[in-house]
Structure 1
Amino acid sequence: MVEPNIINPKDIKIINPEQKEGLLEELNLPPKAIQFIRANERALQIALVVFVVCFLGWTYWGHYTETKRENASSALALAMLEADPAVRDGALSAVLDDFSGSSAAYWAMLEKGHALLKSGEYETALKDYREVASELSGKSPLQPYLLYGIALCLENLDRVDEAYAQYQKLSGYTGYELSGQLAMARMLELQGKAQEALDLYRKVQDNEKLPPQKKSIVTEKMNTIMGDASGAN
Structure 2
Amino acid sequence: MAEQTTVNRDAVIKQQLLASEGLLEQFNLPPKVIAFIHRHQRTIWTVIVTAVVVFVAVSGYTTYRELRETRGASALDAALIAQQDRKPLLEKVTQDYGGTAADRWAKIELATLYAQEGQRGKAIETLEVLQSELRPDMSLKPLVLSRLAGLCEMEGQVDKAVQLYTQLSGNEWFAAEAYRALGRLYEQTDKKEEAVAMYGKYLELSEFQAGQGKVDPIREMVQSRLGQLQK
TM-score range, shorter chain: 0.7 to 0.9
Distance 2:152 2:53 in 1: 52
In structure 1, the partner of 2:7 is: none
Q: Say whether the 8 Å CA contact 1:107–1:142 is kept in structure 2.
A: no
Spell out, residue by residue over 1:68-87, the C-alpha distance to the aligned partner (whole angstroms, 9 max, x if none): 2233234334433x263x53
In structure 1, the partner of 2:36 is: 36
| CA positional deviation for 1:34 | 1.4
Change (3 A) 1:67 1:184: same
* Aligned: 1:168 with 2:166: yes
| CA positional deviation for 1:151 | 1.6
Distance 2:168 2:193 in 1: 22
In structure 2, the partner of 1:114 is: 112
Change (3 A) 1:224 1:30: closer
Distance 2:132 2:229 in 1: 42
Distance 1:214 1:91 in 2: 45
In structure 2, the partner of 1:210 is: 209
What residue identity is the alignment partner of 2:64?
Answer: Y
In structure 2, the partner of 1:56 is: 56
What residue identity is the alignment partner of 1:59?
Answer: S
Q: Say whether the 8 Å CA contact 2:68–2:100 is kept in structure 1.
A: no
Match of 2:155 among 151, 157, 162: 157
In structure 2, the partner of 1:94 is: 92
What residue identity is the alignment partner of 1:141?
Answer: S
Structure 2 unmatched runs, 5+:
1-14
| CA positional deviation for 1:199 | 4.3
Compute the TM-score of the two structures, normalised by the length of structure 2.
0.75
* Aligned: 1:129 with 2:127: yes
| Structure with greater Cα Rg | 1
Spell out, residue by residue over 1:60-105, the C-alpha distance to the aligned partner (whole angstroms, 9 max, x if none): 222222232233234334433x263x53323311211211233432
What residue identity is the alignment partner of 1:197?
Answer: A
In structure 1, the partner of 2:179 is: 181
Q: Say whether the 8 Å CA contact 1:205–1:215 is kept in structure 2.
A: no
What residue identity is the alignment partner of 2:217?
Answer: S
| Shift >6 Å, 4+ stretches | 17-21
Aligned Cα RMSD in Å? 3.1
Spell out, residue by residue over 1:8-61, the C-alpha distance to the aligned partner (whole angstroms, 9 max, x if none): xxxxxxxxx898871111111111111222233333333322222222222222
Change (3 A) 1:93 1:172: same
Distance 1:73 1:165 in 2: 33
Distance 1:221 1:71 in 2: 47
Change (3 A) 1:155 1:214: farther
Distance 1:58 1:41 in 2: 26
Q: Say whether the 8 Å CA contact 1:201–1:218 is kept in structure 2.
A: no
In structure 1, the partner of 2:26 is: 26
| CA positional deviation for 1:177 | 0.6
Q: Say whether the 8 Å CA contact 1:114–1:149 is kept in structure 2.
A: no
Structure 1 unmatched runs, 5+:
1-16
| CA positional deviation for 1:112 | 0.8
State the percentage of identical aligned residues: 29
What residue identity is the alignment partner of 2:79?
Answer: A
Distance 1:43 1:160 in 2: 63
| CA positional deviation for 1:165 | 2.3
Secondary structure of 1:158's partner? coil
In structure 1, the partner of 2:140 is: 142
